[in-house]
Structure 1
Amino acid sequence: MPEPTVTLLTQDDCPSCERLKRMLAQPLKGQYDARVRTVHRQRDPDAFAALSAQHDVRATPALIHTPSGAALRVPSGLGEVKAFLDAHT
C-alpha cells in the first residue's frame, strides 16, 4: 500500500470539512483513502499548527501535497478535489 502523500487538515465544527470528508467517502468511494492522511486540529494540535504555518493555511479544510507543498485551500467542488488528488497521489 502506498504511503500517504496528501494531508487533509480538518477541525471540529467545520461544515466544509464534513462536506469534503463526505466527497472522499461517497462520490469518490474511498479510492484515495490510502493516500490521504488526516490531521485534525483538536486531536493533533501541534502537527496541525506546524502544517498550517508551513503551508500558509488559514482556513479548513485544506489538502496539502507533502512532497511538493502544493495546497488546495477550502476546495469548493468535487471536480476540484478529484483533479488535485489525481495530480498529487
Structure 2
Amino acid sequence: MTERRPFVLFTQDQCPQCEMLKRMLALPLRGAFDEQIEVLHRQADPQAFEALADAHALARTPALLHRPTGRLLLDTGSLGAVKAFLTHS
C-alpha cells in the first residue's frame, strides 16, 4: 500500500474553477506540490470522492484538503491563499 499524500484536490468534470486551480498548480507554482497532492475526481472515482467529501462536509469543488488536520481550503481562486495553505498546513 502506498503512503497517502498529505493533500487532496477535489475536482470534477465541467468545473471551470477546478481547471483554473489545476493550471495554477502547474504553471505559477510549477508543480512544486504535485508529489504532495492526491487528485480525487468525482467522475473517475465516485465512491472514494463521495466518502471523503461526506466525511469533511464538502459540498462543492474545487477544494483542497489537508489530511492530517482535516482543514479545507475552499477559496482556491487566489494564488497566495493556495500557496499559503500548501506551505503552512
8 A Cα contact 2:11 2:63, kept in partner? yes
CA distance in 2, matches of 1:75, 1:24: 11
- Counting matched residue pairs gives 87
User: For the structure 1 residues 3 and 53, does the alpha-carbon distance in structure 2 shift closer, same or farther, using more than 3 Å as the test?
Assistant: closer
Runs of 5+ consecutive residues of structure 2 not aligned to the other structure: none
Runs of 5+ consecutive residues of structure 1 not aligned to the other structure: none
Provide the TM-score with structure 2 as the length reference.
0.93
1:8 matched to which residue of 2? Answer: 9
Which 4+ stretches in 1 moved above 4 angstroms? Answer: none
SS at match of 1:42: coil
The aligned amino acid for 1:13 is Q
The CA deviation string for residues 31-87 of structure 1, in whole angstroms up to 9 with x for no partner, is 000000100000000110011111111110000011110000141210000000001
Question: What percentage of aligned pairs have identical amino acids?
Answer: 49
1:78 matched to which residue of 2? Answer: 79
Provide the TM-score with structure 1 as the length reference.
0.93
- 1:65 equivalent in alignment to 2:66: yes
CA distance in 1, matches of 2:4, 2:43: 24
1:43 matched to which residue of 2? Answer: 44
The aligned amino acid for 2:77 is S
